[in-house]
Amino acid sequence: MSPLPGLADHLVASGHTAAAALARRQVTRDDVAHALTPTDEQRTILIVIGVYALGILVLWNIPYINMILLPFKLVTVALHEFSHAAAGLCTGARIKSITIDPDEGGLTQMNGGKWCCVMPAGYLGSALLGALMVFAGFDVLASKIVSVIIGVCLLATLFWAKSWFTRLITILFIGLIVGLWFTPHGAGLRYVVLFMGVMSSLYSLWDIVDDTLKRKVNESDATKFAQKTHCSSRCCGFLWLLVSLIFLVGAILLGLAFLKDD
C-alpha cells in the first residue's frame, strides 16, 4: 500500500495543529490587548496620575510654594523610615526609635540587623508602598483596603516614635484616612491614596537624584550603601531608581488589567 495517503493525513493534521496554535496565540494577544485597554474610568485615573506627577514635579522645585507638599512629604518620610524598621525587624534588629524632623529628614535607630537589607529598604519600601497605592487607586474598594495597610504602617511608626513631631504627623494622617472613609463612595480616600502613591514613588526617585547625582546630602542611604559595598553611590542610586520605575509602571499595568469597572 502506498504511504502517500497516510502522509497526507499527517500533513493535514499538522496543518490543523499549527492553525490551532496560531489561533490560540492570536486569542492570547487579543486578551492582553483587551486587558491593557483602559476603560473610560481608567483613562480618568491615568490623567489624574499624570496631573499629580506633573504637579508634584513642578511644586517640588519651587521655593516656598513647595511647602504645599510638606505634609505629604513628611508622611512619605515616615513610610520610608518604617521600611527601614521593618527590614531591621525581619533581620533580627531591635528598633529603638523612629524620628521625623521638620526639615523633612528621618532617622531610624536600631540595634542589630543586617545592613545589606536595612539600608536599601527605605527607598525600595517607598517604591513598593507607592506602587501598591497607585495600583489601588484604580478601584475604590482596593483603595480602602490599602489605606488600612498604610494605617497599620503608620501605627507601627507611631509606636516607635520618640518625638512629638513624629507622633503629630502620624496621628494627623491616620485621622485623615479615617475621615476620608466617610466621604461619598470613598472617592476622597481613593484620590488621596492615589496622590500618596504617586508622591511616594516620585519621592523614591527624586530623593535618590538629589542625594546621589546632585550630591546634596553626603550621608544618604545610597552613599552609606556604597561605602559598605565599595560601589559608586551613583550606581546604587541608579539601580534603586530603575527598580522604582519598574514598580510604578508595573502597578499601572496591573491596575489596568485587573481593576476594570466593567
Per-residue pLDDT of the chain (262 residues; tens, 9 = 90+): 445 455 455 444 555 565 555 455 555 776 777 778 999 999 999 999 999 999 988 887 777 887 888 889 889 989 999 999 999 999 999 999 998 876 657 889 999 999 889 988 998 999 999 999 999 999 999 999 999 999 999 999 999 998 888 899 999 999 999 999 888 888 899 999 999 999 999 876 776 656 555 555 446 677 777 788 888 777 877 888 888 889 999 999 999 999 986 5
155 near 148, Cβ under 8 Å? no
Read off the pTM: 0.85
Quick one: how far is CA 1 from the chain centroid?
69
Residues 8, 78 share a domain = no
Residues 117, 195 share a domain = yes
Residues 107, 23 share a domain = no
Q: How many domains does the chain have?
A: 2
Contacts of 248 (CB under 8 A, 6+ apart): 127, 130, 131, 134, 201
Residues 78, 25 share a domain = no
Residues 97, 84 share a domain = yes
Retrieve residue 24's grid coordinates. 490560540
CB atoms within 10 A of CB 88: 24
Parent domain of 18: 1-37
CB atoms within 10 A of CB 214: 8
Q: pLDDT at position 240, please?
A: 81
Give the CA distances from residue 148 to residues 3, 136, 145, 188, in Å, rounded to whole numbers and listed in that order: 70, 12, 5, 15
Q: Is 34 exposed, middle or buried (0-12, 13-18, 19+ CB in 10 A)?
A: exposed
74 near 100, Cβ under 8 Å? yes
Residues 52, 21 share a domain = no
Residues 47, 152 share a domain = yes
Q: pLDDT at position 2, please?
A: 47
Residues 30, 102 share a domain = no
Q: pLDDT at position 54, please?
A: 92
Residues 158, 45 share a domain = yes
Sign for the pseudo-dihedral over CA of 86, 87, 88, 89? positive
Contacts of 98 (CB under 8 A, 6+ apart): 78, 81, 82, 85, 106, 107, 108, 109, 157, 160, 161, 162, 166
CB atoms within 10 A of CB 241: 21
For every residue of 47-105, DSSP letters joined together read HHHHHHHHHHHHHHTSTTGGGGGHHHHHHHHHHHHHHHHHHHHHTT-EEEEEEE-TTS-
Residues 157, 64 share a domain = yes
Residues 96, 32 share a domain = no
Q: How far apart are CA 201 and CA 128, in angstroms?
A: 8
Q: pLDDT at position 185, please?
A: 81
Residues 88, 16 share a domain = no
